[in-house]
Amino acid sequence: MSAPATSTTDDRIIDGKAIATAIRNEIKERVATLKQDKDAVPGLAVILVGSRRDSQTYVNMKTKACAAAGIESLGYTFEDTVTQEELLETIRKLNKDDKVHGILVQLPLPSHLDQDAILQEIDPAKDVDGLHPVNVAKLQLFAGADATQAPFSIPCTPLGCLILLDRSGVDLRGKHCVVLGRSQLVGLPMARLLLGRDATVTIVHSKTQSPSEIVKQADVVIAAVGKALLVKADWLKPGAVVIDVGINSIDIVPEKPGGKTYKLVGDVDYEEAVKVCSKITPVPGGVGPMTIAMLLNNTLTSCERSVST
Ligand code: NAP
C-alpha cells in the first residue's frame, strides 16, 4: 500500500475520498484474485444492536462498501433489549463459521451490555476492528518497520490516517507528531503507529496544560478529540500537516426554509487552518472514507491469512 498520492485541485488538501476509492478498487481486484486462485470469498459479520440512527447509517455504509468490493456481509441486528448472553452466543457461532473472516460489533452498545466482554469474545483472528486485547498487545509489540503489513488487525481509523500520510508523500521519520486524544480506538494506536515510523510523538489529552503551545511545535498534527473546531489556525506551525479525525455536528441557520439545520465539522478550524498548513484533510471527505476502506482491507487480509494457513 504505497502508491503515490492522488492529485487534487489544491495540493494542500488531502483528498481522503479519492485515496479511499483507489484503495477500494485495489481491494476489489485482490478479492477477485482470491476467488480465482483459492475459491475463497471474504465474509464480514456486522452486529448492530438497537436503533441509533448514526449506527444504522454507518452499518449501511459498511454493508454497501462490502458489496461493491465483492466481500460478503452478513447482518445480525438485535433489539436494544438483547441480553449479553445472546450476543456472546452469536459471536461464538461466528467465531466457528468458516465463511466469516471478520466480526464487527457496531459501537457504542446500549449501557446494559458489557462492551469489553463482548469485544473480547471475538476470535482475535476475526477482530477486524483491532480492539481485542490480543491485537492491542500485538500492535504494542510489533517490531516491523511497516505496520500496514502487520500480520494482525490494526484499528481502522488510525491505520487509515497512516496510509493517508503515506500516500500524500509525508515522511514521518524524525518528525514531531502531536496526537490530540488518547482513546483506544484512535489516539493510542495512532501514536504507536507514528512511533513505528520513527516519528517523535507527543500525546495531548483533556488534562494537558497549554495544548496550543504543544501543537505549535508539531510537524504533523492528528486531531482525534471530538470537539468541534478546537484546533485554531494560530495553534499550527506554518507548513504543518494536519489530519483531522473529528466528526462533530454543529447547528447552522438553514439557507432556505426546511433546509439543513446542522453540518459536520472536524476538530480543526479548517477554513483558517488551510491557509497555514502544507497539507490538511477536510471533514467530511478526509479520514472517514479511509476508515471504511481499512475495514474492507482488514476483512480481506484476514481471509487471505485464513486460506494461506
Ligand atoms: P473519545 O473516545 O471520546 O476520546 C476523545 C479523546 O480526546 C480523549 O482522549 C480525551 O481526553 C481527548 N480530549 C477531550 N477533550 C479534549 C481537549 N479539550 N483537549 C485535548 N484532548 C481532549 O473519542 P474517539 O473515539 O477517539 O474519537 C475522537 C473523534 O474522532 C470523535 O469526533 C469521533 O467522532 C471521531 N472519529 C472519527 C472516525 C472517522 O472515521 N473519521 C472514526 C473514529 C472516531 P481524556 O482521555 O483526557 O478524556
Which three cell numbers mark 235?
Answer: 495553534
Q: How many CA atoms lie within 13 Å of 77's alpha carbon, on the beta-carbon side?
A: 10
- Cβ of residue 217 lying under 6 Å from some atom of ligand 1: no
83 alpha carbon to ligand 1 midpoint, in Å? 28
Which three cell numbers mark 290?
Answer: 479511509
Cα 35 to its chain centre, rounded Å, is 26
309 residues of the chain, pLDDT tens digit each: 444 444 444 889 999 999 999 999 999 999 999 999 999 999 999 999 999 999 999 999 999 999 999 999 999 999 999 999 999 999 999 999 999 999 999 999 999 999 999 999 999 999 999 999 999 999 999 987 788 899 999 999 999 999 999 999 999 999 999 999 999 999 999 999 999 999 999 999 999 999 999 999 999 999 999 999 999 999 999 999 999 999 999 999 998 999 999 999 999 999 999 999 999 999 999 999 999 999 999 999 999 999 987
Residue 10 neighbours by CB distance under 10 Å: 9
- Cβ of residue 225 lying under 6 Å from some atom of ligand 1: yes
Residue with the smallest CA separation from ligand 1 atom 18 is 206
Torsion of CA 250, 187, 293, 118, to 10 degrees: -100
267 alpha carbon to ligand 1 midpoint, in Å? 9
Which three cell numbers mark 182?
Answer: 488518547
**Residue-by-residue DSSP string for 20-82:** HHHHHHHHHHHHHHHHHHH----EEEEEEES--HHHHHHHHHHHHHHHHHT-EEEEEEE-TT-
Candidate of 59, 247, 295 to mutate for ligand 1, largest count of ligand atoms within 8 Å of Cβ: 247
- Cβ of residue 204 lying under 6 Å from some atom of ligand 1: yes
Amino acid letter, 120: Q
- Cβ of residue 158 lying under 6 Å from some atom of ligand 1: no
28 alpha carbon to ligand 1 midpoint, in Å? 31
Amino acid letter, 16: G
Collect all residues with Cβ–Cβ distance below 8 Å to 82 and sequence separation of at least 6: 49, 113
- Cβ of residue 155 lying under 6 Å from some atom of ligand 1: no
Start-end of H helices in the chain: 16-38, 53-69, 84-96, 115-121, 133-141, 156-167, 187-196, 211-215, 270-273, 287-308
